[in-house]
Amino acid sequence: MSLIVMKYHYMREYWCPDKVYVRRRPASREGGDGAKERYRNLAIFYVATYSAFYLFDYIENALSLSFGLKIASGFALDAILFLLVYALSESGGYWSPCLVGFRRTGTLSAFVWANAFFLPDTLTLLFRLYAYGQASILALFYFPTPSSPPLWYPLYAVSFWIAGGIAVFPLLEAFPYESLKDVRKRYAIPLVVVLWAGIYNAPLVVGVINLRPDDIFFFDFLFLVAYVKSRNSIGLVLAYVLAESPVWYIIAVSWGVRILSIGIVVRALLSVACVGILVFQYWRSHGNDQKSRATHT
């Protein structure tokens, strides 16, 4: 087997395992230099990312870009950051799509974990819908839109939040967490959460008053936990777009409030189902563990 093939198989086994992820490489293969290079590349990534995010935010506000141009700038920022991640990791010899959470497996698991975490929120919305009506939901979800948006306008909303989800979950959560694979979870997770919060809504420019604790708790902390459980960022992007209230507001004003009501009911049922799936999986795995211990004893 050639050295190139051996390196490919080694990197694939380490970065893209099927079932078990080992957070530490064997010492004989990595040593201290590999970790230092990853940390240095991660620091470069954060400096460039903070600069790019705040620059793009300044340009959007200064030029009052249209919704379409904001979508284009969002995908342009995604492309720039992806190229940066690829260049940094490739220079260190550890690039893999799994470095940003792009795995063949785990998409459904990530989606289930994310929607299970939303159970309190979806049940609260369902109660509010039936107690106070659709008007209260529209007031809660309000997002500036044209007075008579065209029927295809929700596609703009979905595209806009897909661009945001790609920037957040593969790039600002998966990549930093994978780069900190030698760091204990109790330290790596808070570090990634804090650094993500420093970018969200540009608090260093507009002030901490623009921070939304609920978004940071759900999309920053809980979604990172969902990533740790699933090691897949694609499912998180899908769950994120489904959960964003402005997307539902734009759908409601474009296609009718009845669709909004249906969406709230469906999301509540989905969250209940996801919690049930996780409980069943825990019960089954716990039962199998007990049977295994009984067999060995």
HEC profile of 167-207: HHHHHHHHHHHHHCCCCCHHHHHHHHHHHHHCCCCCHHHHC
User: What token pair was written down for 253?
Assistant: 């004003």
**Residue-level pLDDT at 109:** 97
pLDDT tens across 247-286, in order?
999 999 999 999 999 999 999 999 999 999 999 999 988 7
Q: Number of structural domains, the chain?
A: 1
**Cβ partners under 8 Å of residue 237, min gap 6:** 162, 165, 166, 169, 170
- What pLDDT, on a 0 to 100 scale, did the predictor assign at position 290? 61
Q: What is the pLDDT of residues 87-133, one digit of tens each?
A: 999 999 999 999 999 999 999 999 999 999 999 999 999 999 999 99
Q: Residue 100 in contact with residue 171, Cβ under 8 Å?
A: yes
CA distance 167 to 189: 18
Alpha carbon distance 239, 111 (integer Å): 6
Expressed as residue numbers, the domain containing 131 is: 3-296
Query: Which helix (H) or strand (E) is 155 found in, with range?
Result: helix 153-166
Q: Are 110 and 227 in contact (CB under 8 A)?
A: yes
User: Over the stretch 181-228, which tens digit does the pLDDT of each residue have?
Assistant: 999 999 999 999 999 988 887 766 655 556 678 889 999 999 999 999
| Residue in 184, 186, 204 with CA at minimum distance from that of residue 195 | 204
Report the share of the chain in percent with pLDDT over 70.
81
Mean pLDDT of 31-45: 84
pLDDT for res 292: 62
Instruction: Tell me what the mean pLDDT of segment 292-297 comes to.
Output: 59
Q: For residue 150, what are its two tokens?
A: 């065209």
At 139-189, the pLDDT tens digits run 999 999 888 888 999 999 999 999 999 999 999 999 999 999 999 999 999
Residue 4 above 50 pLDDT? Answer: no
3-state class of 166 per DSSP?
A: helix
pLDDT value, residue 67: 83
Mean pLDDT of 231-243: 97
Give CA separation, 196 vs 44, 69, 160, 226, 281, in Å.
15, 24, 19, 16, 31
- Cα atoms in the 13 Å half-sphere on the side-chain side of 121: 18
Q: Counting beta carbons within 10 angstroms of the beta carbon of residue 169, is it exposed (0 to 12), middle (13 to 18) or buried (19 or more)?
A: buried
Which residue type occupies 133? G
Which residues have C-beta within 8 Å of that of residue 213, sequence separation ≥ 6? none
What is the helix (H) or strand (E) element at residue 6, kind and residue range? helix 3-15
**Joined tokens for residue 296:** 């060995």
Task: Give the contacts of 92 (CB within 8 A, at least 6 positions apart).
Answer: 34, 37, 38, 41
Question: Which among 16, 233, 79, 224 is positioned nearest to 87, based on CA atoms?
Answer: 79
In Å, how far are 75, 124, 271 from 284, measured between CA atoms? 42, 30, 20
